[in-house]
Amino acid sequence: MKNLSATARQIFLTTGAALGCFALVLQCYLIILNRTASIPETIIRFFSFFTILTNILVALCFSFLLLKPGTKWGKFFEQPATLTAITVYIVVVGIVYNLILRFLWNPQGLQRIADELLHTIIPLLFIFYWFLFVSKERLKWNSILPWLIYPTIYCIYTLARGAIVGFYPYPFIDVLLLGYYKVVINIAGLVLVFLVISLVLVAIAKLIVKGTAGLNNSAPF
């Protein structure tokens, strides 16, 4: 049974690392191919999307756990708190895209493949990995606030850079379109979403741990 679980985990890690790297390279190629700015600015814009940054985190996580599990970074990505934080981020990527952004355009061909991988398939893959293979005993409520640092810094950076160059990667944080008041409200709502998803995942983890403990206690001798 343990060998089967280890094999399934390796399959998840291999698939996640391969799909993640492929999707990121494909999206980078497409954004350069269809660029509306210089190549250096286009590359900077590529790394300005929360989707891209978070999928890079996912790809790195899968890759280190697969290829370098005993290294400093492998151990970092193996920590339940780290894996749960990344799960929160990629879940929000999937939710925001599929509930809001998906209906704002209709990508075709390779762009549709990249979009589905980055916003749907990879998020689902990581969620399943979290449910099946991440240890949940050590997850604590006080882990949640540090998880909000990354999205908060991202929003601050995006607003600061947007004020300088006039580029905002998402319409709901476009100051030129909405103004600062509306954007700040949107960001507050977005941070709240991160908080709620974090609370939900930790709550689920605690329920799983409690349920597992109950099964172990009721098991016959």
Q: What is the pLDDT of residues 151-161, one digit of tens each?
A: 999 999 999 99
Name the residue with tokens 């601050």: 156
Closest by CA to 58, choosing from 146, 130, 132, 3, is 130
Q: What is the DSSP letter of 200?
A: H
Q: How does pLDDT run across 38-68, given as a tens digit for each residue?
A: 999 999 999 999 999 999 999 999 999 999 9
* Mean pLDDT along residues 165-177: 96
Q: What whole-number distance in Å separates Cα of residue 58 and Cα of residue 135?
A: 17
The structural domain count of the chain equals 1
Residue type, 196: V
Structural domain of residue 155, as residue ranges? 2-218
Q: Are 20 and 129 in contact (CB under 8 A)?
A: no
As a whole number of Å, the end-to-end CA separation of the chain is 20
pLDDT at 180: 96
Single pTM value for the model: 0.93
Structure tokens at 188: 């507050």
Share of the chain above pLDDT 90, in %: 90
pLDDT in tens, 80-101: 999 999 999 999 999 999 999 9
Whether 1 shows a pLDDT value over 60: the answer reads no
DSSP state letter for 121 = I
Residue 219: predicted pLDDT: 47
pLDDT digits (tens, 9 = 90+) for 172-219: 999 999 999 999 999 999 999 999 999 999 999 999 998 876 555 554
